[in-house]
Structure 1
Amino acid sequence: MNILSWNVRGFNDDAKRALHDHCSRFSPILIGILEPKKDVSKVPLHFWKSINVVPIHQNFRSGMSPNIWVLANPLVNISLVSSSTQVVILDCCWSSRTFRATFLHGDCSMVVRRYLWLELLTNVVDNMFFIGDFNAVKGAHERKSDCLPNASACREFCDFIDASGFVESNTSGLFYTWCGRRNLPSHVESVLDRCLFSEGFASMWNSLNTHVHPRIASDHSPIIFQCQENAVPRRRNFKFLDMWLSHPDFHDFMQVSWQAPTNSTCPLYNVMAKIKRFRTELKIWNKQVFGNVDEGISQLQESLTKIQLKIADEGYSDLLFDQEVAAQARIGTLLTRKSNLMQQKSRVRWLKDGDRNTSFFHKSYKMRRKNLTLSQLKIDGVDTFDQDVISSHIVDFFSKLFSEVTTNTVMVQDIQQIVEATVSHKQNESLSCIPEEEEIKAAVFDLASDSAAGPDGFSGTFFQNCWDTIKDDIVVAAKTFFLKNYLPQGLNSNTLILIPKKDVVETVADLRPIVLSNFFLRFFRKLLLLGLVLWLLIM
């Protein structure tokens, strides 16, 4: 679903041609035309039919021409909620999805815009978005000029966004949406046009992105709000959840699973086999014993409601009081687990443990998932939106990159002839000596517990909290590694992650690949590093 908003500053022939081009390429189901400076009836109906939209509404301004037109695909069911000199609000239904669309054109006056902020907050619903020319910036970083923007206006705009609870969409294309060259002594650019959406609206889509197009026939850029359909759910990789540790039966269950023998005689393979088996059993335990946290909270709240209604009807009794206290305590436990789950998913580290902030973590997690989605990519110079095509292109690009054969091969012997040896044979033996149990434990606990997990899904939290159970196998495996100088196949498996090199990703070259390795492998690296640090201290 695509939604277009454009401040045309006069709907002339150039604007009509540009609009026709955008509609033929992106097929928006909703269009907001701002500052058309004429009545919509003055545009021939055959033009609207040519871009597959019909006029829905234009706002009324006493003694002036309308400044907001709303047009829509004929298949969209629309009902008007509110219309004023600065905003048009509509309830829409498209493809079995119901949402509230808001097209706005903020006044140039900060005082008049206050009425706009108030009207928007009055009509907020869960599944809603705002799009248009806000005529306001959040700070100096959104304005390129010799003079700073009005601090009070920026603060009021930021306060409005915070009060609404809405989130600004990721943007691609141009950064500044308006360029002012009219009777100004210097060049000015600002981010005036944008799209904000609610958490409920975000949950309806797989990815959300706003593309800012080049300015044509107006000093404002057309912006297209792109909402990608929820894709077919893919099988998610296993990930150890910290909240499992809070269950009273977890450690007993884990101990029974871990201490069961395996068919492997090699200590390294033995640990890998136990991790794989425990992962399978943990999935079953999560469904059958731990249960769904949200469902548990709902069921306990219903039970608590019945208990409190019974107390109101029958009066106080020790039995009912004990049941109420137990239900409240149980709900508190589940709320803490949910908070821990959301914090782990959101990857927010700067809040202290114990701060619940569940809604904040939940929103951070959802927005992080939306931001990690590539909604479009330039392939051979052409903007591509098809997710399957984008995925195939990325896989092909990095497959060729990593399998490329270079002719400039440097042999180890050549390096040894150039670089002077600084570590003697005796010193090398001390670095490679078998570590003691305390050194192995130090390596495990020195690694960050909440760092991203590798392909096996187990983070440092599992290894550190279950150390008493798994330490014997880990110690034997570590000593075997130093004795045999060998890592089994599969231990060095990694997950390839693409990190954007810049804010706006346009081509695959703007992505930097990094790998996430298993904690069990990182632990061996840490052991070698600690040995090197100890040797340097001795030297």
Structure 2
Amino acid sequence: MEQLFNYADFLLEYRGVRKEAASRALHFFLRDHSLDVVCIAEPMVDSVSFPACFFNRLGFMVEIIHNSRRDKVPNFWVVGKNSFARLVMVHSSEQMTSVSMQWNGQQVLVSVIHASCFRAERRNLWVELGTVAALSLPWVALGDLNATLYSHEKRGPGRFNVGATAEFQAMVDACDQISSPSQGSKFTWTNNKCRGHVVARLDRSFFNAQWLEVFGDCGQQVLHRSISDHAPILFSSTAIPKPRNAPFRFHRFWMEEESFEDLVRDVWSREVRGGPIGRLPYKLRAVRSALKGWARQSFPNLDVALKDATEEVDEVQRTIDQVGMSDDLYSREAEAKTKLLKAMEMHEKLWAEKARCNWAKLGDRNSKFFQLSVKVQRIKNSIRSLKKQVIPNEVNREDSSILEAIPAREEIKKVVWGLDPDSSLGPNGFPGAFFKQCWEIVGDDFCGAVIAFFRGGKLPNGVNNSFVTLFPKVEGAVSLDKFRPIYKQGAFQKGKIISSNIGLASELANLLHTFVRGGGMGIKIDVQKAYDTLSRDFLFAVLKRFGFSGVVGLDS
């Protein structure tokens, strides 16, 4: 069964809706959920012989949209809420039914799927989905696909069908579909057997980029199974409200504006009382406040600017087609094209920063890079021998004096120049590129703050704040123990990103399936609470044992 709930869909399979247990379960479900569109898969009865008052009493339309099958009853029913827009069938077959509806003046498509158990027949379904995708409308497809995308989506006896999965994945790629983030149970189907028990993820939902533009957010929830061997899939789409306390974000293309450095210089030159370490964050906050208002005036909504520039070009060119070219129209077209190119450039830079596609720079070299990384890591991680040893005194007095020496301005500048200009932003919102661009303005205060820390060994509260970002360790994480905290301070070195570890781990996991002499083995170590069990005093004692001085920080 399926639902469009606020911006949502739901799939639930009842084998024989005429059965008393199935009818009762369906009634309770519709009563307990605020649904807009309902689809029942495999009702096993003709819609004409089913009492229309069943849906009408629950606030749904009397008219039931269904597909047609040769010498068989329909296996799809689609029913809309009375208050909802009228549904129009645009495609129907034995494995899929697609309906069109109006949502806030925008036509959207919903495809309900019940794929065949036979791989050869599913190929026809993949072709049908490609036909619907070609309509280029906001589109969501969901239901029982009777195929898995990955090997870990099936557990129990039976071989994993690589060929069927490859065809499924090819269809998803060809249709530019995006798999919905899922919460709840990992598996959606079971064979309900004690011996030879099999579970798999056969029911799922996909949406395209146009759907995301209309609704803003998408996700599905796997509900508990009741009388069916399939679990209900609740697909929801809702606009994500913008947080009121969204942090400041600096955009690199701001630095290309002529008035940028003049603004920073004017704000930075204002007199500020306090020590060197306190002055730096105060001035950064002042610059941040000034840049917010300046950016709103200098860079309006880039999406609107791109749309307006495109319409202006279209309007000028339509006029040229109607009345012919003239000197005035020639100038207007050239000016409109220049404006459009500028808007496209700014729009592209903005989304490039948001996407942070660092790997795109490597292009096809990704595979070679990962292979080389794996080989290097294998060499580094090879354990050839182990010996019992105590903590050595590695740091002598000469090394300690070098570590504690006050850094020179050139040394501090060299470190700043080594920061990745596109690294994750810290709480102050300024990337490494800002400090490099405005070094002549901010350099003295920056170096003064660093030198003051080395001399005093203390940082005021708030200077070293960081963001804590929670990354889910499993799909559909809802509890805190299923998230991994990552502290973002925007101080990563150039060329090094957190995702490199994730990519490397993925490649290592894939290599475990490669046939090698002696076999392969992977060990997962859970260190989720390592930060809770470390003693600060113990760390300081170990550092002292290595030979570090206790002058700065270690005795505090």
TM-score by length of 2: 0.72
Q: Which residue of 2 aligns with 1:378?
A: none
Rounded Cα–Cα distance in structure 2 between residues aligned with 1:51 and 1:291: 48
1:9 equivalent in alignment to 2:15: yes
Q: Give the aligned length.
A: 457
> Is the alpha carbon distance of 1:297 and 1:74 closer, same or farther for their aligned partners in structure 2, counting shifts above 3 Å?
closer
Rounded Cα–Cα distance in structure 1 between residues aligned with 2:275 and 2:162: 69
1:128 equivalent in alignment to 2:139: yes
Q: Which amino acid aligns with 1:483?
A: R
> Is the alpha carbon distance of 1:249 and 1:488 closer, same or farther for their aligned partners in structure 2, counting shifts above 3 Å?
same
Aligned ranges 1:66-81 → 2 under 5 Å: 66-81=74-89
| 1:149 counterpart (148, 153, 161) | 161
| 1:280 counterpart (261, 279, 289) | 289
For residue 173 of structure 1, report the CA deviation from its aligned partner: 1.6
For residue 210 of structure 1, report the CA deviation from its aligned partner: 1.1
> Is the alpha carbon distance of 1:85 and 1:492 closer, same or farther for their aligned partners in structure 2, counting shifts above 3 Å?
same
For residue 311 of structure 1, report the CA deviation from its aligned partner: 6.0
Q: Which residue of 2 aligns with 1:391?
A: none
Rounded Cα–Cα distance in structure 2 between residues aligned with 1:95 and 1:302: 22
> Is the alpha carbon distance of 1:213 and 1:315 closer, same or farther for their aligned partners in structure 2, counting shifts above 3 Å?
closer
Q: Which residue of 2 aligns with 1:90?
A: 99
> Is the alpha carbon distance of 1:292 and 1:230 closer, same or farther for their aligned partners in structure 2, counting shifts above 3 Å?
closer
The CA deviation string for residues 445-498 of structure 1, in whole angstroms up to 9 with x for no partner, is 333332322222112232233334322221122112212223233212333322
Aligned ranges 1:451-470 → 2 under 5 Å: 451-470=423-442
> Is the alpha carbon distance of 1:467 and 1:103 closer, same or farther for their aligned partners in structure 2, counting shifts above 3 Å?
same
Q: Which residue of 2 aligns with 1:116?
A: 125
The answer on whether the counterparts of 1:76 and 1:92 sit within 8 Å (CA) in structure 2 is no
Gaps of 5+ in 2: 365-389, 493-542, 548-556
SS for the counterpart of 1:456 is coil
| 1:441 counterpart (410, 413, 420) | 413
Q: Which residue of 2 aligns with 1:261?
A: 270
> Is the alpha carbon distance of 1:444 and 1:222 closer, same or farther for their aligned partners in structure 2, counting shifts above 3 Å?
same
> Is the alpha carbon distance of 1:103 and 1:432 closer, same or farther for their aligned partners in structure 2, counting shifts above 3 Å?
same
| 1:198 counterpart (208, 218, 221) | 208
> Is the alpha carbon distance of 1:21 and 1:274 closer, same or farther for their aligned partners in structure 2, counting shifts above 3 Å?
same
The CA deviation string for residues 215-242 of structure 1, in whole angstroms up to 9 with x for no partner, is 3322222111123454376342210112
1:208 equivalent in alignment to 2:215: no
For residue 206 of structure 1, report the CA deviation from its aligned partner: 5.4
Rounded Cα–Cα distance in structure 1 between residues aligned with 2:472 and 2:303: 33
Aligned ranges 1:182-197 → 2 under 5 Å: 186-197=196-207
1:497 equivalent in alignment to 2:469: yes
Q: Which residue of 1 aligns with 2:185?
A: 174
Q: Which residue of 2 aligns with 1:512?
A: 484
Moved more, 430-439 or 227-236: 227-236
For residue 286 of structure 1, report the CA deviation from its aligned partner: 1.0
Moved more, 452-461 or 245-254: 245-254
Rounded Cα–Cα distance in structure 1 between residues aligned with 2:184 and 2:190: 15
> Is the alpha carbon distance of 1:485 and 1:24 closer, same or farther for their aligned partners in structure 2, counting shifts above 3 Å?
same
Rounded Cα–Cα distance in structure 1 between residues aligned with 2:37 and 2:286: 52
Aligned ranges 1:19-38 → 2 under 5 Å: 19-38=26-45
1:351 equivalent in alignment to 2:360: yes
Rounded Cα–Cα distance in structure 1 between residues aligned with 2:48 and 2:325: 69
> Is the alpha carbon distance of 1:156 and 1:325 closer, same or farther for their aligned partners in structure 2, counting shifts above 3 Å?
farther
The CA deviation string for residues 496-515 of structure 1, in whole angstroms up to 9 with x for no partner, is 32222322213233223333
Moved more, 266-275 or 292-301: 292-301
Aligned ranges 1:95-110 → 2 under 5 Å: 99-110=108-119
> Is the alpha carbon distance of 1:308 and 1:23 closer, same or farther for their aligned partners in structure 2, counting shifts above 3 Å?
closer
> Is the alpha carbon distance of 1:181 and 1:341 closer, same or farther for their aligned partners in structure 2, counting shifts above 3 Å?
same
The answer on whether the counterparts of 2:44 and 2:75 sit within 8 Å (CA) in structure 1 is yes
Q: Which residue of 1 aligns with 2:176?
A: 165
Q: Which residue of 2 aligns with 1:65?
A: 73
Rounded Cα–Cα distance in structure 1 between residues aligned with 2:264 and 2:49: 74
Moved more, 18-27 or 475-484: 18-27
Q: Which amino acid aligns with 1:107?
A: S
The answer on whether the counterparts of 2:424 and 2:490 sit within 8 Å (CA) in structure 1 is no
The answer on whether the counterparts of 1:173 and 1:213 sit within 8 Å (CA) in structure 2 is yes
SS for the counterpart of 2:441 is helix
For residue 291 of structure 1, report the CA deviation from its aligned partner: 3.0
Moved more, 418-427 or 187-196: 418-427
Q: Which residue of 1 aligns with 2:252?
A: 242
SS for the counterpart of 1:351 is helix
Q: Which amino acid aligns with 1:272?
A: P
The answer on whether the counterparts of 2:221 and 2:233 sit within 8 Å (CA) in structure 1 is yes
Rounded Cα–Cα distance in structure 1 between residues aligned with 2:335 and 2:441: 31
| 2:450 counterpart (470, 478, 484) | 478
SS for the counterpart of 1:443 is helix
SS for the counterpart of 1:77 is coil
| 2:300 counterpart (265, 268, 291) | 291
1:40 equivalent in alignment to 2:27: no
The answer on whether the counterparts of 2:181 and 2:220 sit within 8 Å (CA) in structure 1 is yes
For residue 185 of structure 1, report the CA deviation from its aligned partner: 9.8
Gaps of 5+ in 1: 356-417, 521-531
The CA deviation string for residues 415-456 of structure 1, in whole angstroms up to 9 with x for no partner, is xxx999765666544322110122212222333332322222
1:300 equivalent in alignment to 2:312: no
Rounded Cα–Cα distance in structure 1 between residues aligned with 2:362 and 2:298: 25
For residue 67 of structure 1, report the CA deviation from its aligned partner: 0.6
Moved more, 16-25 or 339-348: 16-25
SS for the counterpart of 2:304 is helix
The answer on whether the counterparts of 1:301 and 1:331 sit within 8 Å (CA) in structure 2 is yes
SS for the counterpart of 1:214 is coil
> Is the alpha carbon distance of 1:322 and 1:5 closer, same or farther for their aligned partners in structure 2, counting shifts above 3 Å?
same
Aligned ranges 1:292-441 → 2 under 5 Å: 292-305=301-314, 308=317, 313=323, 315=325, 324=333, 327-352=336-361, 423=395, 427-441=399-413
TM-score by length of 1: 0.74
Moved more, 424-433 or 454-463: 424-433
